[in-house]
Amino acid sequence: MRKWLTGSIFLYFLYGLLVYWYLFIFSGTGVPAPYEGSSADPSTFMSGRELLLSQEYSTIKNFLFFVTVPFEWFLLFVILITGISRKMQEWSNVTSRFFSLQSAVYFFWLSLLISVISFPVELLGFRISKSYNITTQTFSAWMKDQLIDFWVNYALMTVIVIVLYWLIKRFEKRWWLYAWLLSIPFSMFLMFVQPVLIDPLYNDFYPLQNKELEEKILAIANEADIPAEHVYEVNMSEKTNALNAYVTGIGSNSRIVLWDTTLNRLSEEEILFIMAHEMGHYVMNHIYVGIAGYLFLSLFGLFIIHLLMKLMIKQFGSLLKINSIRELTAFPLFLILLGVLTFASSPLANTVARYQEKSADMYAIEMTNNNEAAISSFQELSRAGLSEVNPPALVKIFRYTHPTMFERILYLEEHGEKESGSE
């Protein structure tokens, strides 16, 4: 056990050094020379101080992302190899003779342990965002959101754990298939209730107060055959200075949502472009394409997890203190494999998402026909969130579900030049 712990700590430390070298030393900043001075060059729309803060903030946040992703895997591995997971199962077994209650107790202790150990890292992220004036929340308000996160995730995951292990115990060879089949209605249900049950736990939503702007947004929605009756505003200014807008939910619970920070900092023309972009996702059925892609990857992923868990328990069961896949003790191994496969598949998922975002951008520019407002909206988004305009390649591959701001402004510029040339 000492040998495995020492080896894993050394590998994690080496990985952290490589990430640090890549982000802080190897990766360059700025835009390619041919585009210096263009509207995609941050030096044309950011002050010198904003450029410096943007580079610092983005690099630190990227570093934290890459080192904290495997940290949870490492933590779960330690929980297994030290026998903590087995001890928590023993505690849960004496609380009740009902497996559902045993599962709830086991997952509570597992969630609590992970949350407590991970709290310093979460707090560091909050402090960094606060120091760069991205986060505006007070510590008490942030802690409230952390507690809501814990209990919402615990409630949802407890249901998943109970159903998952019931399936494993009942259908040990085909549990992955039945789990996937049940995940379809469960995922659709969550997407349906999220706008009305989950999101309001964190923020207050209300109809857009600027009725003149709402009418213009709804006119674009009507032109796109989107059955929207209201545009919702959310009071994010008490939490952040960043800007955002989105469409959430499915069916009758679909909502068009604008952050009040976006309303306060963008012009009407810029807001209309942003909203047309969000409507583009609806028109092009991106949410359903995303669901289909998620279902395909989850089916493949659950099958791979099934095979790997069987293999690893057979080869390393004594080291991990796991006797069978049917034990709750094995759940951290399931989470490790799920996390690794999710991270490994993120470049593919992000590539598809970036293609969809570009399609929505082009839809929005066709709807609004205002290149100037489109470009200035992206520039202001970058300034408000201290976003890196042209991030390192690995950051883009693993983190960016949207094209980089450099790419977005560049292809909008090219579109504007084509339109000017055709007139």
Q: Kind and range of the H or E element at 206?
A: strand 205-207
Question: Which two tokens mark 92?
Answer: 């849960």
Q: Is 414 annotated as a binding residue?
A: no
Separation CA 197–CA 190 (nearest Å): 9
Q: Please check whether residue 258 is in contact with residue 233, taking contact to mean a CB–CB distance below 8 angstroms.
A: yes
> What whole-number distance in Å separates Cα of residue 233 and Cα of residue 227?
18
Residue with tokens 């003790």: 329
Cα–Cα distance, 293 to 187 (Å, whole number): 13
Contact 136, 240 (CB under 8 A): yes
Q: Is 281 labelled as part of a ligand binding site?
A: yes
Active site residue 278: yes
Question: Active site residue: 270, 278, 388, 407, which one?
Answer: 278
The C-alpha atoms of residue 129 and residue 166 are separated, in whole angstroms, by: 42
**How far is Cα 416 from Cα 5, in angstroms, rounded to an integer?**
57
Amino acid (1-letter code) at residue 292: A
Could you tell me which of 379, 372, 385 has the C-alpha nearest to residue 412?
Answer: 372
| Residue 357 known to bind ligand | yes
**Best CA proximity match to 337, nearest among 313, 364, 358:** 313
With contact defined as beta carbons under 8 Å apart, do 83 and 321 qualify? yes
Q: Answer whether 120's CB lies under 8 Å from 107's CB.
A: no
361 is catalytic: yes
d(CA 91, CA 96): 10
Catalytic residue among 361, 366, 407, 417: 361
Instruction: Map residue 284 onto helix, strand or coil.
Output: coil
Q: Which residues are catalytic?
A: 278, 361
What are the binding residues for Zn(2+)? 277, 281, 357
The annotated binding site is made up of 277, 281, 357
